Amino acid sequence: MQHFKTLSAYHEYLELPRPEHPMFSMYSALGEGYLPCPKESSPPITNDCYSISFKKIVKGDLAYGRTKYDFTNGALFFIAPRQVLQWESSAVFEQKGFSIHFHEDFLKGTELAQQIRKYGFFSYSANEALHLSPKEERQIELIVENIHLEYQNNPDSFSKDIIIAHLSTLLKYAQRFYERQFTHREELSNDLLERFNQQLETYFDSGQLQENGIPNIEQIADGLSVSQRYLSDTLKKETGKTSTEHLHLYLMDEAKNILLNPNKTIAEVAYELGFEYPPYFSRLFKKKEGISPSEYRERFELN
């Protein structure tokens, strides 16, 4: 897989104009003109750069990754260093918005270098992008206009600090808007939890549990066509529990049913549920249920 260590090399590969700064570039088409389109298609690649893009398709269609994505009304999406990128041949003719790229070293020694790792949306894939309302879109545009003005000015000792300050503000607004998007997607989130449980049920019923052990969250998320971080963030926002906690709840419900069979030892129950170490199963059961598996069995027998 091809990897690009510098921003300039990445731009050259994309067939985009050379950046004005060796570690920072941006293109803006919020007013007149249109954004430059990258090369038509690409096999999987990686790079050492962050990307923040707002795309609004004026004419044409865009296929990005595995998903034909609707950018008609505009969407903001984020890419972190070393994420695998791949896009198919597209038919984009005209697109508005902006595109910001900066090498991870551009943030070295700044407060944002630590903060940026906490923004979960950099782990999301393109089909989980942030949809902006007209008011939110304008707020983002105002910040980007300031970045663009600074980018076009002759650089001085203040330029980098000013750009990074604007980037920090942009990301804080994005975090606020993502919170709004999660809040207004309750129906979608409930559907995601239902599909999460359905996928686990299918996994259990197919015998994969005994063959491959407990599935990890990345496997489940991949089966749902969402990223691991997005799955956990969405479930956490709507249910108060992460994807891992929901997996544990499902396992404990299954454990209760199996424990009703008095002929099986606690260790056999643990192995049947895919636990490699029975003591871990017992500790998890007690943590979630407040009593040990043997105490649960005894309580049921008494009833």
Cα separation, 164 vs 148, in Å, equals: 12
Compute the distance between CA of residue 76 and CA of residue 201 in angstroms, rounded to an integer. Answer: 34
Assess whether pLDDT exceeds 70 at residue 71: no
Confidence tier at 127 by pLDDT (50, 70, 90):
low
Parallel, antiparallel, or unpaired for β 130-131 and 75-79? antiparallel
| Terminal alpha carbon distance of the chain | 61
CB 76 within 8 A of CB 100: no
pLDDT at 183: 62
CATH 1.10.10.60 domain span(s) along the chain: 186-302
Q: Are 273 and 212 in contact (CB under 8 A)?
A: no
Banded pLDDT at 149 (limits 50, 70, 90) = very high
Output b/e per residue, 284-293; b: 16+ Cβ within 10 A: bbeeeeeeeb
Average pLDDT over residues 125-154: 85
CA gap 204, 280 in Å, rounded: 20
- The predicted model scores a pTM of 0.65
What is the 8-class DSSP label of residue 216? P
Assigned architecture for domain 2-183:
Sandwich (2.60)
Residue 25: band (very low, low, confident or very high) from pLDDT cuts 50, 70, 90:
very high
Q: Within the chain, which residue ranges are assigned CATH 2.60.120.280?
A: 2-183
- E strand or H helix at 103: strand 94-103
> Is 29:12 a contact under the CB 8 Å cutoff?
no
Q: What is the mean pLDDT of residues 3-22?
A: 91
pLDDT band for position 144 (50/70/90)?
very high
Quick one: 186-302 is in which CATH superfamily?
A: Homeodomain-like (1.10.10.60)
